A = this chain, B = another copy of it.
Amino acid sequence: MEQVLEYISIAGAFAFAISGALTAMNKRFDAFGVFIIAFATAVGGGSLRDVFVNANAVFWLIHPEFMYFIIAGALFALVFRKYLGYLRKTLLLFDTLGLALYTVIGVEIGIQNQLSGISCVALGTITGAFGGVVRDILVNDVPLIFRKEIYATISILGGSIYFVLYNTQISSFYLHLIPIGVIIVLRLLVVYFKISFPAIYYESTD
């Protein structure tokens, strides 16, 4: 089980590193800026999760292998940037992958810390979504999470599914596959069909 979570977590870090690197290249940052944004995107959500549950230290300081995978992800994006650029929605794909993998890890950590259901799901969503928030703040964009796509909602749904399944007799394979698959499929559908919540604004009369 520990092993499965470690693999999922590393895969999430790799995906988010690519997503961060692509964003930074798009903003014309230098090579180092690309690595930093990749790093911040990949560790942002998990670091906040570890800090919020008062873990011994953030995960990537204790398991430095994460840093090697993040560097590898950023290098991958740098080397294949021309091909990735041709693929529409490459950024979306890796960001979605990171969201799905990190959401599941976040809920799992909440369960290990004996938190309530709502707390576990919130922790999953923070773990999944906060890396992207950090990425967008660092490049001075309004975070993607607040823009058109139904982003956090899908993370909350996927995290809730994981939490419910966790308390059943389901095998470890399906326990992880189902919520990860639901998040990926839903997000891609939402973007493909351009589904969004209506904006709700109030007219200021000042």
Contacts and interface: CB of A to CB of B under 8 A. Distances in A.
B82 A202 contact: yes
A81 B143 CA distance: 24
Contacts of A36: 145-146, 152
Interface residues of A, number: 70
B200 A31 contact: yes
Interface string A55-75: 111101110100100000000
**How many monomers of this protein are in the complex?**
3
A170 interface: no
B61 A201 contact: no
A119 interface: yes
Contacts of A138: 133, 137, 142-143, 146
Interface of A: 22, 24-34, 36-37, 47, 51-58, 60-62, 64, 67, 78, 81-82, 84-86, 88, 110, 113, 115-116, 118-119, 122-123, 133, 137-143, 145-148, 150-153, 196-206
